Structure 1
Amino acid sequence: MDSIKAKVSLTSFIDFMITPDAQKVRKVRDIKYFQYSRGKDYWVSLRECLVDVHSKGDISLLDKLISEAPKNRINNYKNAVKGYHKFFKGVKEMDWFDPPKKYWFYENFGCNVNPELGLYINGVPHLVKLYFKEDTSSAEIILHKARVSTIGYLMDEALRESCPAGTRMAVLNVKKGQLIQPEPGGKDTWIALKASVRHFMDIWDEV
């Protein structure tokens, strides 16, 4: 679509939404001029490993990942894996399905809605977006249902038709092992989503 000025990942949009207002300009600038390389993607190995854990049914892959992690990432990886084990142990039954991915567009903005995991959790299908970045000592970036509601709404809007019947949208706060499932969004969530997109694009045009 030629009219689209900005195409961003869902993770980048989550980062923007929960960034304090005083830091949003810097955040959009970082997003706009960021050039992806695997070496800059801090969590890429763990993201890919978690997909393999479920699609291949082998949780021991997490231990292998830790043994091979770079020294400058090993502590954060260990903490994230510890949180993930906490989530995993709280589930009696878990089966894999391939998660759909699709761009969601609004005006001149595009967001790549790309949940990493499709999981039947105790028989109920869930689309799960992984979130690794929370510093548990900082209230500024803590995820909670109010902040995740817009993301759940966006996932629902973009992907509902490609999901198994009854799929629940969720964000997994990996470090805490906490699966956050927002209530289905309504008009207020839609208004908040539009406002966030317009705020993002206003800054994008200025930087």
Structure 2
Amino acid sequence: MPRLSLTDLVDVVSKAGSPKATKVKQIKNRQDYSPATDFYKPLREKLVSIHQADQSKSDLPTILDGITDLKKIKTYAILVEGYRKWWGTKKFGWFSPPTTIYSHAGLDVSVNPELGLSFNGVDHLIKLYLKDDEVNKAKMDLITSLMEHCLREKSKQGTIMSVLDVRGSKLYVLSTNATAQKAIIDAELAYVAALWPNV
């Protein structure tokens, strides 16, 4: 069964017409996932380890330690600064975030927030949005709505579903009708499934 990431889903939904079909084709024909070619994997893992070890904001620059690829160094520096600004004066507690797979129309979507952070007395499940794309509430609502649908029963009461635009230092929380958004997601996945054999 083909598998999409949450970012793939956002990319497809945010396009229309030929660009949408082109995006589906790109997703179908890309190489199988490999940790070695996952551009952001070291950064995600180091952010998680910093919070798991209850390290401080001053430890964020260590994310760049051992990175030799010049493109990664430049990009990671921007992301580390964005995360530092968002961190601000918050005091975090770590918990392991639940993950799952959402299946519809013969497609799987990985629903996998990287961070489980408690701050200001509230648990937050946080999906990191790292790409250098336009970020808007409509895109983020798709992610938080699917997280709400899939992860609510796996989460403590009161847990907030959220997406962090790391570059923009902004946390987007669920603020829409998750049921209506799920209908949109299902329709988009049905479209992708219908197109998949033909691209």
TM-score strictly above 0.5 = yes
**1:199, distance to aligned residue in structure 2 (A):** 2.0
1:16 equivalent to 2:12? Answer yes
Query: Which residue of structure 1 lines up, in the alignment, with residue 45 of structure 2?
Result: 48
**1:46, distance to aligned residue in structure 2 (A):** 0.6
Deviates more, 1:22-31 or 1:91-100: 22-31
- Alignment counterpart, residue 54 of structure 2, candidates 39, 52, 57: 57
Using structure 1 for the length normalisation, give the TM-score: 0.86
**Counterpart-to-counterpart distance in 1, 2:90 and 2:50:** 16
**Counterpart-to-counterpart distance in 2, 1:147 and 1:127:** 17
Query: Which residue of structure 1 lines up, in the alignment, with residue 36 of structure 2?
Result: 39
Deviates more, 1:73-82 or 1:16-25: 16-25
Counterpart of 1:194, as a letter, is: D
Alpha carbon RMSD of aligned pairs, Å? 1.8
The CA deviation string for residues 26-84 of structure 1, in whole angstroms up to 9 with x for no partner, is 32222223311223211111111111111111244431222422222111111111100
Task: Give the alignment of 1:184-195 within 5 angstroms.
Answer: 184-195=176-187
**1:162, distance to aligned residue in structure 2 (A):** 0.8
Query: Tell me, which stretches of 5 or more residues in structure 1 are unaligned?
Result: 136-141
1:125 equivalent to 2:92? Answer no
The CA deviation string for residues 142-169 of structure 1, in whole angstroms up to 9 with x for no partner, is 2222221121111111111111111111
CA spacing shift, 1:187–1:112, aligned 2, 3 Å: closer
Task: Give the alignment of 1:1-207 within 5 angstroms.
Answer: 5-19=1-15, 21-34=17-30, 35-58=32-55, 59-69=57-67, 70-89=69-88, 91-135=89-133, 142-207=134-199
Query: Tell me, which stretches of 5 or more residues in structure 2 are unaligned?
Result: none
Q: Is the 8 A contact 1:145 1:182 kept in 2?
A: no
Same amino acid, percent of matched pairs: 34
CA spacing shift, 1:187–1:116, aligned 2, 3 Å: closer
**Counterpart-to-counterpart distance in 2, 1:43 and 1:33:** 20
The CA deviation string for residues 10-29 of structure 1, in whole angstroms up to 9 with x for no partner, is 23222322345432223222
> In the comparison of the two structures, how many residue pairs are matched?
196
Q: Is the 8 A contact 1:145 1:181 kept in 2?
A: no
Matched position secondary structure for 2:71 = coil
